[in-house]
Structure 1
Amino acid sequence: MDRHIPVHALPEEIQKMLPEEKVCKYCGISYLILHEFKAMEEKVKAMEKEMKFYQGSVDREKRLQEKLHSLNQELEQYKIDSKSKTERIYDVGMQLKNQQNEFQKVEKQLSHLQDELKIKYRQSYIFRLCFC
Protein backbone atom coordinates (compact mmCIF):
# COMPACT_ATOMS: atom_id res chain seq x y z
CA MET A 1 0.00 0.00 0.00
CA ASP A 2 1.34 3.41 -0.98
CA ARG A 3 1.92 5.94 1.66
CA HIS A 4 0.03 9.20 1.23
CA ILE A 5 2.19 12.25 1.51
CA PRO A 6 0.15 15.41 2.06
CA VAL A 7 0.73 18.27 -0.32
CA HIS A 8 0.25 20.90 2.37
CA ALA A 9 1.94 20.61 5.71
CA LEU A 10 -0.04 20.83 8.93
CA PRO A 11 -0.21 24.24 10.56
CA GLU A 12 2.63 24.98 12.95
CA GLU A 13 0.37 25.02 16.01
CA ILE A 14 -0.58 21.39 15.36
CA GLN A 15 2.99 20.38 14.57
CA LYS A 16 4.13 21.86 17.90
CA MET A 17 1.48 19.96 19.88
CA LEU A 18 2.63 17.04 21.98
CA PRO A 19 1.55 13.59 20.72
CA GLU A 20 -0.67 13.16 23.80
CA GLU A 21 -2.59 16.27 22.80
CA LYS A 22 -3.14 15.01 19.20
CA VAL A 23 -4.40 11.55 20.15
CA CYS A 24 -7.57 10.44 21.96
CA LYS A 25 -6.59 8.84 25.24
CA TYR A 26 -9.56 6.45 25.07
CA CYS A 27 -9.33 5.01 21.55
CA GLY A 28 -5.89 6.14 20.38
CA ILE A 29 -7.13 7.78 17.16
CA SER A 30 -5.61 11.04 16.12
CA TYR A 31 -8.01 13.93 16.60
CA LEU A 32 -7.33 15.02 13.05
CA ILE A 33 -8.44 11.65 11.68
CA LEU A 34 -11.33 11.48 14.14
CA HIS A 35 -12.49 14.90 12.97
CA GLU A 36 -12.32 13.71 9.34
CA PHE A 37 -14.27 10.53 10.22
CA LYS A 38 -16.97 12.56 11.93
CA ALA A 39 -17.19 14.91 8.97
CA MET A 40 -17.40 11.92 6.61
CA GLU A 41 -20.12 10.32 8.76
CA GLU A 42 -22.15 13.53 8.56
CA LYS A 43 -21.71 13.59 4.78
CA VAL A 44 -22.78 9.93 4.55
CA LYS A 45 -25.88 10.64 6.66
CA ALA A 46 -26.76 13.61 4.47
CA MET A 47 -26.23 11.56 1.32
CA GLU A 48 -28.38 8.72 2.72
CA LYS A 49 -31.21 11.19 3.34
CA GLU A 50 -30.78 12.54 -0.17
CA MET A 51 -30.80 9.00 -1.59
CA LYS A 52 -34.02 8.21 0.28
CA PHE A 53 -35.57 11.37 -1.15
CA TYR A 54 -34.44 10.46 -4.66
CA GLN A 55 -35.55 6.85 -4.19
CA GLY A 56 -38.96 8.21 -3.24
CA SER A 57 -38.93 10.49 -6.24
CA VAL A 58 -38.08 7.56 -8.51
CA ASP A 59 -41.03 5.63 -7.09
CA ARG A 60 -43.28 8.68 -7.47
CA GLU A 61 -42.11 9.18 -11.04
CA LYS A 62 -42.77 5.53 -11.82
CA ARG A 63 -46.32 5.80 -10.41
CA LEU A 64 -46.87 9.02 -12.34
CA GLN A 65 -45.60 7.41 -15.55
CA GLU A 66 -48.02 4.51 -15.03
CA LYS A 67 -50.86 6.95 -14.37
CA LEU A 68 -49.92 8.97 -17.45
CA HIS A 69 -49.90 5.78 -19.51
CA SER A 70 -53.35 4.77 -18.25
CA LEU A 71 -54.69 8.30 -18.87
CA ASN A 72 -53.31 8.19 -22.42
CA GLN A 73 -55.07 4.87 -22.97
CA GLU A 74 -58.31 6.36 -21.63
CA LEU A 75 -57.86 9.37 -23.91
CA GLU A 76 -57.43 7.11 -26.93
CA GLN A 77 -60.55 5.16 -25.94
CA TYR A 78 -62.48 8.42 -25.54
CA LYS A 79 -61.30 9.54 -28.97
CA ILE A 80 -62.52 6.28 -30.49
CA ASP A 81 -65.84 6.58 -28.65
CA SER A 82 -66.19 10.19 -29.74
CA LYS A 83 -65.53 9.29 -33.36
CA SER A 84 -68.09 6.48 -33.33
CA LYS A 85 -70.67 8.71 -31.64
CA THR A 86 -70.01 11.48 -34.15
CA GLU A 87 -70.58 9.00 -36.98
CA ARG A 88 -73.76 7.78 -35.27
CA ILE A 89 -75.00 11.37 -34.90
CA TYR A 90 -74.28 11.98 -38.58
CA ASP A 91 -76.20 8.80 -39.54
CA VAL A 92 -79.16 9.73 -37.34
CA GLY A 93 -79.10 13.25 -38.80
CA MET A 94 -79.23 11.84 -42.32
CA GLN A 95 -82.12 9.54 -41.34
CA LEU A 96 -83.95 12.51 -39.84
CA LYS A 97 -83.40 14.55 -42.99
CA ASN A 98 -84.70 11.69 -45.15
CA GLN A 99 -87.76 11.28 -42.92
CA GLN A 100 -88.40 15.03 -43.03
CA ASN A 101 -88.25 14.94 -46.83
CA GLU A 102 -90.62 11.99 -46.89
CA PHE A 103 -92.91 13.75 -44.42
CA GLN A 104 -92.98 16.83 -46.67
CA LYS A 105 -93.90 14.63 -49.65
CA VAL A 106 -96.70 13.00 -47.65
CA GLU A 107 -97.91 16.47 -46.54
CA LYS A 108 -98.00 17.60 -50.17
CA GLN A 109 -99.92 14.46 -51.15
CA LEU A 110 -102.29 15.00 -48.23
CA SER A 111 -102.81 18.60 -49.24
CA HIS A 112 -103.41 17.54 -52.85
CA LEU A 113 -105.85 14.82 -51.73
CA GLN A 114 -107.65 17.27 -49.44
CA ASP A 115 -108.00 19.67 -52.37
CA GLU A 116 -109.38 16.82 -54.52
CA LEU A 117 -111.74 15.85 -51.72
CA LYS A 118 -113.04 19.40 -51.50
CA ILE A 119 -113.54 19.45 -55.25
CA LYS A 120 -115.32 16.08 -55.17
CA TYR A 121 -117.40 17.21 -52.23
CA ARG A 122 -118.47 20.36 -54.12
CA GLN A 123 -119.21 18.33 -57.21
CA SER A 124 -121.25 15.92 -55.14
CA TYR A 125 -123.11 18.81 -53.54
CA ILE A 126 -123.83 20.36 -56.94
CA PHE A 127 -125.07 17.01 -58.32
CA ARG A 128 -127.35 16.56 -55.38
CA LEU A 129 -128.79 20.02 -55.85
CA CYS A 130 -129.27 19.46 -59.54
CA PHE A 131 -130.90 16.03 -59.28
CA CYS A 132 -133.12 16.66 -56.36
Structure 2
Amino acid sequence: MDRHIPIHALPEEIQKMSPEEKVCKYCGVSYLILHEFKAMEEKLKAMEKEVKFYQGSVKREKGLQEKLQSLSQEFEQCKIDSESKSERIQDASMQLKNQQNEFQRVQKELSHLQQELKTKCRQSQVFRNRYVK
Protein backbone atom coordinates (compact mmCIF):
# COMPACT_ATOMS: atom_id res chain seq x y z
CA MET A 1 0.00 0.00 0.00
CA ASP A 2 1.62 3.23 -1.17
CA ARG A 3 1.32 6.22 1.06
CA HIS A 4 0.47 9.54 -0.43
CA ILE A 5 2.37 12.42 1.10
CA PRO A 6 0.80 15.76 0.23
CA ILE A 7 2.96 18.50 -1.16
CA HIS A 8 1.10 21.34 0.56
CA ALA A 9 0.22 21.35 4.25
CA LEU A 10 -3.27 22.15 5.40
CA PRO A 11 -3.87 25.73 6.37
CA GLU A 12 -3.53 26.46 10.09
CA GLU A 13 -7.18 27.35 10.58
CA ILE A 14 -8.19 23.93 9.20
CA GLN A 15 -5.56 22.15 11.32
CA LYS A 16 -6.89 23.93 14.43
CA MET A 17 -10.49 22.88 13.74
CA SER A 18 -11.96 20.32 16.10
CA PRO A 19 -12.73 16.84 14.67
CA GLU A 20 -16.47 17.55 14.99
CA GLU A 21 -16.16 20.41 12.50
CA LYS A 22 -14.25 18.24 10.00
CA VAL A 23 -16.74 15.34 9.95
CA CYS A 24 -20.24 15.39 8.52
CA LYS A 25 -22.68 15.01 11.39
CA TYR A 26 -25.21 13.27 9.19
CA CYS A 27 -23.17 10.57 7.44
CA GLY A 28 -19.91 10.62 9.42
CA VAL A 29 -17.66 11.10 6.36
CA SER A 30 -14.66 13.31 6.95
CA TYR A 31 -14.39 16.56 5.11
CA LEU A 32 -10.67 16.23 5.31
CA ILE A 33 -9.93 12.65 4.31
CA LEU A 34 -6.19 13.20 4.57
CA HIS A 35 -6.48 14.08 8.26
CA GLU A 36 -8.41 10.88 8.94
CA PHE A 37 -5.93 8.79 6.93
CA LYS A 38 -3.03 10.19 8.95
CA ALA A 39 -4.83 9.42 12.20
CA MET A 40 -5.56 5.89 10.98
CA GLU A 41 -1.93 5.41 9.87
CA GLU A 42 -0.73 6.37 13.34
CA LYS A 43 -3.18 3.92 14.89
CA LEU A 44 -2.01 1.25 12.43
CA LYS A 45 1.65 1.84 13.33
CA ALA A 46 0.84 1.58 17.02
CA MET A 47 -1.12 -1.65 16.45
CA GLU A 48 1.70 -3.12 14.32
CA LYS A 49 4.15 -2.44 17.15
CA GLU A 50 1.75 -4.05 19.59
CA VAL A 51 1.34 -7.12 17.36
CA LYS A 52 5.12 -7.47 17.02
CA PHE A 53 5.44 -7.22 20.78
CA TYR A 54 2.81 -9.91 21.30
CA GLN A 55 4.35 -12.16 18.64
CA GLY A 56 7.68 -11.83 20.43
CA SER A 57 6.02 -12.49 23.75
CA VAL A 58 4.50 -15.73 22.44
CA LYS A 59 7.95 -16.90 21.33
CA ARG A 60 9.46 -15.83 24.65
CA GLU A 61 6.68 -17.58 26.55
CA LYS A 62 7.24 -20.82 24.61
CA GLY A 63 10.97 -20.60 25.32
CA LEU A 64 10.33 -19.95 28.98
CA GLN A 65 7.86 -22.84 29.18
CA GLU A 66 10.43 -25.18 27.61
CA LYS A 67 13.07 -23.93 30.04
CA LEU A 68 10.65 -24.37 32.95
CA GLN A 69 9.87 -27.93 31.83
CA SER A 70 13.59 -28.68 31.51
CA LEU A 71 14.27 -27.26 34.96
CA SER A 72 11.33 -29.23 36.38
CA GLN A 73 12.74 -32.46 34.99
CA GLU A 74 16.18 -31.58 36.30
CA PHE A 75 14.68 -30.81 39.71
CA GLU A 76 12.87 -34.16 39.78
CA GLN A 77 16.09 -35.96 38.84
CA CYS A 78 17.99 -34.13 41.57
CA LYS A 79 15.23 -34.99 44.04
CA ILE A 80 15.45 -38.69 43.11
CA ASP A 81 19.27 -38.58 43.37
CA SER A 82 19.00 -36.88 46.76
CA GLU A 83 16.62 -39.54 48.07
CA SER A 84 18.90 -42.29 46.77
CA LYS A 85 21.93 -40.72 48.43
CA SER A 86 20.01 -40.28 51.68
CA GLU A 87 19.17 -43.98 51.68
CA ARG A 88 22.81 -44.86 50.99
CA ILE A 89 23.92 -42.60 53.85
CA GLN A 90 21.42 -44.28 56.20
CA ASP A 91 22.68 -47.72 55.14
CA ALA A 92 26.30 -46.65 55.64
CA SER A 93 25.42 -45.20 59.06
CA MET A 94 23.77 -48.47 60.11
CA GLN A 95 26.79 -50.46 58.91
CA LEU A 96 29.14 -48.12 60.78
CA LYS A 97 27.08 -48.46 63.96
CA ASN A 98 27.07 -52.27 63.63
CA GLN A 99 30.83 -52.30 63.08
CA GLN A 100 31.38 -50.00 66.07
CA ASN A 101 29.28 -52.34 68.23
CA GLU A 102 31.25 -55.32 66.93
CA PHE A 103 34.52 -53.48 67.60
CA GLN A 104 33.45 -52.70 71.20
CA ARG A 105 32.45 -56.32 71.72
CA VAL A 106 35.81 -57.53 70.38
CA GLN A 107 37.64 -54.98 72.58
CA LYS A 108 35.79 -56.22 75.65
CA GLU A 109 36.60 -59.80 74.73
CA LEU A 110 40.24 -58.86 74.16
CA SER A 111 40.36 -57.12 77.53
CA HIS A 112 38.82 -60.17 79.19
CA LEU A 113 41.29 -62.49 77.46
CA GLN A 114 44.23 -60.26 78.48
CA GLN A 115 43.04 -60.45 82.05
CA GLU A 116 42.83 -64.21 81.79
CA LEU A 117 46.30 -64.31 80.24
CA LYS A 118 47.73 -62.26 83.12
CA THR A 119 46.03 -64.56 85.59
CA LYS A 120 47.36 -67.64 83.80
CA CYS A 121 50.83 -66.12 83.61
CA ARG A 122 50.81 -65.48 87.35
CA GLN A 123 49.62 -69.01 88.00
CA SER A 124 52.27 -70.30 85.65
CA GLN A 125 54.91 -68.26 87.46
CA VAL A 126 53.70 -69.59 90.80
CA PHE A 127 53.81 -73.18 89.51
CA ARG A 128 57.25 -72.62 87.99
CA ASN A 129 58.53 -71.24 91.27
CA ARG A 130 57.11 -74.27 93.11
CA TYR A 131 58.61 -76.61 90.60
CA VAL A 132 61.99 -74.97 90.88
CA LYS A 133 61.84 -75.28 94.68
Cα–Cα, structure 1 residues 14 and 39, in superposed 2: closer, same or farther, change >3 Å? Answer: closer
Aligned residue number for residue 51 of structure 1: 51
* Structure 1 position 120 matched with structure 2 position 120: yes
Question: Cα distance, 1:48 vs. partner?
Answer: 0.5
* Identical amino acids, percent of aligned pairs: 72
Q: RMSD of aligned C-alpha atoms?
A: 2.0
The one-character-per-residue Cα deviations of 1:75-113 (angstroms, maximum 9, x if unpaired) are 100110011111111111111111111111111110111
Paired residue type of 1:100: Q
1:2-44 per-position Cα deviation (integer Å, ceiling 9, x unaligned): xxxxxxxx63x999xxxxxxxxxxxxxx861111111111111
Letter in 2 for 1:58: V
Segments of structure 1 that go 5 or more residues without pairing to the other structure are 1-9, 16-29
So what's the TM-score if we normalise by structure 1?
Answer: 0.75
Show structure 1 runs of 4+ deviating over 4 A. none
CA distance in 1, matches of 2:100, 2:84: 24
CA distance in 2, matches of 1:54, 1:116: 91
Q: How many residues align?
A: 108
Question: For residues 59 and 85 of structure 1, what CA distance do their matches in structure 2 show?
Answer: 39
Q: Is 1:78 matched with 2:78?
A: yes
2:101 aligned with 1:101: yes
What is the TM-score normalised by the length of structure 2?
A: 0.75
